[in-house]
Amino acid sequence: MITIVLSIFAMVGFAYWWLWRQRVLEKPWTELGPEVDTREEIGRISSTAKTGLTFFLAVVTSVFALFISAYFLRMELPDWSPVMKPDLLWINTGLLVLGSGAIHWCSRAAASKNLRAVQVSLFATGLFTFAFIYGQLMAWGQLNDEGYYLNSNPANAFFYLFTGLHALHLLGGLWVWSRTTLRVLAGVELEEVRLSVELCRTYWHYLLAVWIVLFGMLLST
């Protein structure tokens, strides 16, 4: 099992290193600025950013798929003991749904050039997402209080791994969200942040789908 986990980490590390070398992890959709003033240039940057995000999400999907495969393989060993699933996870799931809905509303508002709605929906996206991450930390605390420590059982370790890895990717999305929000508050034209909002929407919807898969898997096992 240790060999499998080490192999997965090696593949994951190589994938992220390669993405960094290709500048994909720099999230080019944050670089659309006021100097871009032609439709052709905007279209080129938009296409590049969407391709970069698509490739990034494909790698992230592979990462989660590898860990899920390892999870089901590890379940077959006799020392496996299912971990308690805090009821708080249901509330956290609802918060993430609200965050995904808020960024979707923001994308529609940006398309219709409704500045006030963009500001409100961006704030709501950040609020719900931070609340989700805080809720996950509280769930970890509940597990520790009940004696489900990280190193006490393989099932516990996988629970912390899945929830922690998912939260880390959300934190990466919040970095892009913060840059977009600051630009909106600074008074830039909505057309200049529309691409950022659209790709944040895709990212949030994707991480919501990932969480639903993970949550359903954890509940069923």
Domain residue spans of the chain: 2-220
Residue 18 has a pLDDT of 52
Residue 32 has a pLDDT of 46
Residue 38 has a pLDDT of 46
Q: Are 217 and 71 in contact (CB under 8 A)?
A: yes
Q: Which CATH number fits domain 2-220: 1.20.120.80, 1.10.357.10, 3.30.470.10, 2.170.120.30?
A: 1.20.120.80
Residues 193 and 189: their CA atoms lie apart, in Å, by: 7
Residue 29 has a pLDDT of 41
Residues 180 and 200: their CA atoms lie apart, in Å, by: 9
Residue 63 has a pLDDT of 86
What is the reported pTM? 0.81
Residue 148 has a pLDDT of 87
Q: Write the Ramachandran bin of 147: left for phi over 0, alpha for psi from -120 to 50, otherwise beta.
A: left
Please identify every stretch of the chain with a pLDDT value under 70, giving residue numbers as ranges. Answer: 1-47
Residue 107 has a pLDDT of 93
